[in-house]
Chains A and B, each alone.
Chain A
Amino acid sequence: MRKLNVLLSLFVLASLVLTACGGGAPAEPQTVVQTVIVEGTPQVVTAVPPTEEKEAVLRVNTGTYPDVIDPQKSSFVNEIAHLNKVYMGLTTLNGKLETVPGAAESWTFNDDATQLTFTLKPDSVYSDGSVLNAKRFEYAFQRNIDPATAGEYASITDEIVGAPEWRGADTAAEGYDAEAFKAALGVKASHADGSACADYEDTACNTLTLNFSKPAPYFATIAGIWVGYPAKEENIAEGGDIWWTSSKYQIGNGPFIWKSVDPFVKSVFVPNPNYAGEAIPTYRLEFSYITDSAVAFEAYRNNEFDVIGSAAEDLPVIDADADLAAQHVKYAGSCTIKIQYSFFPTWGGKPNPFSDKKVREAFALAFDAEAWTHDVDGDLSLPTWTWIPPGYPGYDTNTPLHFDPEAAKAALAAASEPFNSAEKLNALGLKMAFADSARNRQRHEWIAAQYKEILGVDLALDPVEPTTYTAIQKDPDTYPLLSRGGWCADYADPQNWLSVYWRTGTFADRWGYSNPEFDALVDEADTTIDPAKRAELYSQAQQVLLNDIPGAFGYNSLNHYLVKPWVKGYQTTPQDGTYPGDVTPWTITIDTSMLP
């Protein structure tokens, strides 16, 4: 019995310890002391409890917690959503997605657009007041290209002289010399007169020159994306490989200061008083990481979030509730999603029916994009018949194909032997692969039902575990015959939609698409400086692409959020990653008088 007592008291003791060691002091009562930002200087203000002014906070659910929050290593939208709060590139985007001055005051191209020179804003500083000069940006580009960094977006700066060579170098090879590659790189920080900069404290060091191996008139836009964010070299060195996990090393020049991070729980951002962009935000920003959409929706209804992404599953409830319906914000997004055909001559040892243009045409004509957006996405996407989505330069309403079931049947009948009837295709056994998830199952079950109904073709569905799906797409031998996939803009330029995706030697290699005529047009457009001529060339290239019918163009993504009425002034852009107004967060205001 005594032993039992000892055991029991041990349990009780353990329970006390377990709960008590929650770490540190209990949370202070929030009504008594609050940190309020007054004109940039953090002050501790003792508030009067009952009728105090409510604090302006924007609470956003960003979903999955990022794997890496490092400017030169990140690639995913939720990672970039953190980075672009803390940092600002040389250029930035405005509410119309135009490239505007960021950390740089101005930039000039030389006559053949092979050299780009940025001039930094005078007296540029980081959020902690330390000097921000051109050497910081030089380091950012060097770090992005350095093979030791090995970021997903390392290749985006390949236009820079020496970049592909260094990036592709074997770091283990005998005589590998990082310094030699760095010196040969077309990235140079200097004083305005061209003389070399001393160090990171050199305030006169305000000029960054980029030299390109071919004309790159779009590069001012690329220079603004996250790979060029000026994370501090000494912080990266001090923090080691895991520097980015600590908010104290994440010192930037963006609209916000990363005040604290509790992984998987919460990140807090406060306005950066030294922000050199258009305006300093007036609210505190809080990110939470709830991945279950039903839970996030409950939290929003409980007034625990100000913004969440809306889920198609919750639409009937949103539509039925006048308040929620009024808070539902929908506008065009940044992605085009299509059903991609394989272009390889054979598939699984059998002849590939999609090598026949008529079959491609039949499958494109039989895809009812409008029914899709309505039935599957609950009107949370927009049907499209072209590649570049609306809202982006290069959007073209001239499309050769539309949904037409009769024409689809006719096109199939006009195909060559042995692909000219549903029976013959069914004998071959067509298969559509997808990354397995509940949502994707519904989507593909719909697609299979659609082709069955209109063309009489049986599509076998092949749900593949997501990582396996990525792996089979990298190998031409296993590339699926039919697959649903798309592209979301990295930056707003037709080059990003056409040259980066469909040109031979890029993504298009995965499914075997290659058209010399298209390649020639985009190559010419990429190096053309005259904007009108350039746009015209891209437009021609897009028409060539559409005439090849490389896939059944389906729909554009829609950004859709639930936003509380007290969140005001946001400028929506297709590039918004986690909440409306994400690109220009300083325009948002929180009407604290409306807070419940």
Chain B
Amino acid sequence: MSVQTASPNKIAVINDVFKPSRSLGQEAWSRLIRNKASVAGMFIVGFFIFLAIFAPVIAPMDPLKLHSGKRFLPPPFDQGATNIKAEPEFLLGTDSLGRDVLSRVIYGARVSMVVGFLPTTIILLMGSTIGMISGYIGGKLDNLLMRLTDVIYAFPDLLFFIIVMVALRDSFIGQFMNGLVLLFAALAIVNWVGVARLIRGQVLSLKQKEFVEAARCIGAKDTRIMFRHILPNSLSPLIVWAAFTIPGLIITEAVLGYLGLGLRPATDSGQFFVTSWGVLMLDGQTAINSQPYLLLAPAICVALVVLAFTFLGDGLRDALDPRMRGTQ
């Protein structure tokens, strides 16, 4: 950016000036893929999405099959502290009931991926709609909605999850999709507030901008102004917000699992959600001495996914920053 830098950069700058103008998205993308950490993050996320979708094909065994008399088998590469002999077909050993750890970890990717993406989508839709209406219309409605966000901010969120899960988990909604729907709803209710405030702030500043004035002058409808002019310009903070929220949600699922409020157990491996990394880590934490891989494997997966999303988020933020336009 600074003028005194060496000549190759200068040439790059000049080249950029003469290139045909590209959209913000294209340019951001090209900046993103130049960021090594972000690219690595994308690959890791892609890998786990692949695992989640094709779990039945990839997993070597049925994740629910109990292998009698084969409790706590260590993985073949690490005998560990016990006298139990490893068996080569269990690549990461078995759990306390003789189920294959590797297969369970692969199936667990499904819940974590869905927990990461689905509530985030709900939160983004809910938060940005409310934030936009609040900021654009303003007045009494704005005041009311912002006071509502005050109230929700005042709630301890983990406590709120627990209380909602306890109160509703034995109702119809709590049983639907192994309890995941309820979990999503609880996560969404608490988290939309942040998005709403973010978007409202954006709308308030964008409302005064010349291009909005211009659109209004030529008689554009309010909804058109909101969705065609204001929303696209608020997109980049939203994307960044999402990349940082997803890892938080994955961790929250794991913590709820630790409190015994995670996924309901499946009895049929034909079900889509069989187990989750949170549930696996809970099992693994108690058995850390006998079979450390029961904890290590899901913990490493969670750490990888969280790191991947975080670096992706960093890259996206830098790439989408309009002030970074034309720079590396």
CA distance A371 to B165 in the complex (A): 35
Indicate which residue in A293, A442, A444 contacts B96 across the interface (CB closer than 8 Å).
A442
Q: Are B287 and A313 in contact (CB under 8 A)?
A: yes
- Residue-wise, chain B 256-297 has the 8 Å CB interface mask toward A (1 for contact) of 000011001101000000000001001101111111000000
Q: Which of B71-111 contact A (CB under 8 A)?
A: 71-72, 81-84, 96-98
Q: Are A321 and B81 in contact (CB under 8 A)?
A: yes
Q: Find the A residue at minimum CB distance from B286.
A: A313
CA distance A42 to B121 in the complex (A): 68
Indicate which residue in B265, B287, B288, B291 contacts A461 across the interface (CB closer than 8 Å).
B265
Q: Which of A466-494 contact B (CB under 8 A)?
A: 467-468
A-side contacts of B68, CB under 8 Å: 371, 375
Q: Are B170 and A438 in contact (CB under 8 A)?
A: no
CA distance A460 to B264 in the complex (A): 12
Q: Are B289 and A297 in contact (CB under 8 A)?
A: yes
Indicate which residue in A319, A371, A437 contacts B83 across the interface (CB closer than 8 Å).
A319
Indicate which residue in B82, B97, B286 contacts A316 across the interface (CB closer than 8 Å).
B82
Indicate which residue in A315, A449, A463, A464 contacts B66 across the interface (CB closer than 8 Å).
A449
Q: Are B286 and A317 in contact (CB under 8 A)?
A: no
B-side contacts of A371, CB under 8 Å: 68
The reply on A294 being an interface residue by CB < 8 A is yes
The reply on B169 being an interface residue by CB < 8 A is yes
Q: Are B267 and A375 in contact (CB under 8 A)?
A: no
Given A297-B289, A441-B265, A463-B265, A317-B82 contact (CB < 8 Å): yes
Q: Which of A444-466 contact B (CB under 8 A)?
A: 444-446, 448-449, 458-461, 463-465
Q: Which of B272-328 contact A (CB under 8 A)?
A: 279, 282-283, 285-291
- Residue-wise, chain A 415-457 has the 8 Å CB interface mask toward B (1 for contact) of 0000000000000000000001110011011101100000000
CA distance A519 to B171 in the complex (A): 38
Q: Are B265 and A313 in contact (CB under 8 A)?
A: no
CA distance A67 to B315 in the complex (A): 51
Q: Find the B residue at minimum CB distance from A441.
A: B265
A-side contacts of B64, CB under 8 Å: 445
Indicate which residue in B97, B260, B283, B291 contacts A375 across the interface (CB closer than 8 Å).
B97
Quote the shortest CB–CB distance from B9 to chain A (angstroms). 34
Q: Are A376 and B290 in contact (CB under 8 A)?
A: no
- Size of B's binding interface in residues, CB under 8 A: 32
Q: Are B260 and A437 in contact (CB under 8 A)?
A: yes
B-side contacts of A467, CB under 8 Å: 166
The reply on A314 being an interface residue by CB < 8 A is yes
Quote the shortest CB–CB distance from A320 to chain B (angstroms). 4
Quote the shortest CB–CB distance from B37 to chain A (angstroms). 32
Given A294-B288, A371-B68, A316-B83 contact (CB < 8 Å): yes
CA distance A459 to B267 in the complex (A): 9
The reply on B156 being an interface residue by CB < 8 A is no
CA distance A278 to B285 in the complex (A): 43
A-side contacts of B287, CB under 8 Å: 294, 313-314
CA distance A297 to B290 in the complex (A): 12
Q: Are A468 and B170 in contact (CB under 8 A)?
A: yes
Q: Are B170 and A464 in contact (CB under 8 A)?
A: yes
Quote the shortest CB–CB distance from A315 to chain B (angstroms). 7
Q: Are B290 and A316 in contact (CB under 8 A)?
A: yes
Indicate which residue in A294, A375, A445, A458 contacts B71 across the interface (CB closer than 8 Å).
A375
Q: Find the B residue at minimum CB distance from A311.
A: B286
Given A445-B265, A445-B267, A320-B83 contact (CB < 8 Å): yes
Given A375-B69, A436-B260, A461-B265, A317-B97 contact (CB < 8 Å): no
Given A437-B260, A441-B265, A313-B289 contact (CB < 8 Å): yes
Quote the shortest CB–CB distance from A380 to chain B (angstroms). 12
Q: Are B81 and A313 in contact (CB under 8 A)?
A: no
- Residue-wise, chain B 193-234 has the 8 Å CB interface mask toward A (1 for contact) of 000000000000000000000000000000000000000000
Q: Are A463 and B97 in contact (CB under 8 A)?
A: no
The reply on A312 being an interface residue by CB < 8 A is yes
B-side contacts of A293, CB under 8 Å: 286
A-side contacts of B289, CB under 8 Å: 294, 297, 313-314, 316-317
CA distance A311 to B165 in the complex (A): 28
Q: Find the B residue at minimum CB distance from A378.
A: B71
Indicate which residue in A311, A312, A317, A465 contacts B170 across the interface (CB closer than 8 Å).
A465
Quote the shortest CB–CB distance from A434 to chain B (angstroms). 10
B-side contacts of A315, CB under 8 Å: 290
Given A375-B97, A446-B97, A316-B260 contact (CB < 8 Å): no
Quote the shortest CB–CB distance from B74 to chain A (angstroms). 9
CA distance A441 to B95 in the complex (A): 13
CA distance A119 to B96 in the complex (A): 54
CA distance A314 to B285 in the complex (A): 11
- Size of A's binding interface in residues, CB under 8 A: 38
Q: Are A445 and B170 in contact (CB under 8 A)?
A: no
CA distance A87 to B87 in the complex (A): 54
Quote the shortest CB–CB distance from A462 to chain B (angstroms). 8
CA distance A441 to B83 in the complex (A): 26
CA distance A376 to B68 in the complex (A): 10
B-side contacts of A464, CB under 8 Å: 170
Q: Are B288 and A320 in contact (CB under 8 A)?
A: no
CA distance A465 to B286 in the complex (A): 20
Q: Find the A residue at minimum CB distance from B283.
A: A438
Q: Are A294 and B285 in contact (CB under 8 A)?
A: yes
Q: Find the A residue at minimum CB distance from B290.
A: A316
A-side contacts of B98, CB under 8 Å: 375
B-side contacts of A445, CB under 8 Å: 64, 66, 97, 265, 267
Quote the shortest CB–CB distance from B279 to chain A (angstroms). 8
A-side contacts of B285, CB under 8 Å: 292, 294
Q: Find the B residue at minimum CB distance from A450.
A: B66
Q: Are B290 and A313 in contact (CB under 8 A)?
A: yes
Output the residue of B81, B82, B286, B289 with the most chain A CB within 10 A. Answer: B289
Indicate which residue in B82, B96, B166, B288 contacts A465 across the interface (CB closer than 8 Å).
B166
Given A320-B82, A441-B265, A312-B96 contact (CB < 8 Å): yes
Quote the shortest CB–CB distance from A443 to chain B (angstroms). 9
B-side contacts of A319, CB under 8 Å: 82-83
CA distance A383 to B282 in the complex (A): 28
Q: Are B288 and A442 in contact (CB under 8 A)?
A: no
- Residue-wise, chain A 290-304 has the 8 Å CB interface mask toward B (1 for contact) of 001110010000000
B-side contacts of A311, CB under 8 Å: 286
Given A375-B68, A375-B97, A317-B267 contact (CB < 8 Å): no
CA distance A464 to B279 in the complex (A): 16
Output the residue of B68, B98, B267, B283 with the most chain A CB within 10 A. Answer: B267
CA distance A396 to B26 in the complex (A): 81
A-side contacts of B291, CB under 8 Å: 316
B-side contacts of A461, CB under 8 Å: 265, 267
Q: Are B169 and A465 in contact (CB under 8 A)?
A: yes
Q: Find the B residue at minimum CB distance from A298.
A: B289
Q: Are A313 and B260 in contact (CB under 8 A)?
A: no
B-side contacts of A312, CB under 8 Å: 96
Q: Are B286 and A438 in contact (CB under 8 A)?
A: yes
Q: Find the B residue at minimum CB distance from A444.
A: B265
Q: Are B81 and A320 in contact (CB under 8 A)?
A: yes
Quote the shortest CB–CB distance from A60 to chain B (angstroms). 20
CA distance A294 to B288 in the complex (A): 7
B-side contacts of A449, CB under 8 Å: 66
Q: Find the A residue at minimum CB distance from B67.
A: A375
Given A375-B71, A445-B97, A316-B66 contact (CB < 8 Å): no
CA distance A320 to B286 in the complex (A): 18
Given contacts A316-B81, A465-B169, A468-B166, 10 further A-B contacts (CB under 8 A): A314-B287, A316-B290, A317-B290, A320-B82, A320-B83, A375-B71, A375-B97, A438-B282, A445-B64, A445-B267
Offer 8 A-B interface pairs, CB within 8 angstroms, sorted by A. Answer: A311-B286, A312-B96, A316-B289, A317-B290, A375-B69, A445-B267, A463-B264, A465-B165
Q: Which A-B residue pairs are the 9 nearest by beta carbons?
A: A316-B82, A313-B287, A316-B290, A320-B83, A317-B289, A320-B82, A313-B286, A316-B72, A441-B265
Interface, chain A (partner B; CB < 8 A): 292-294, 297, 311-317, 319-321, 371, 374-376, 378, 436-438, 441-442, 444-446, 448-449, 458-461, 463-465, 467-468
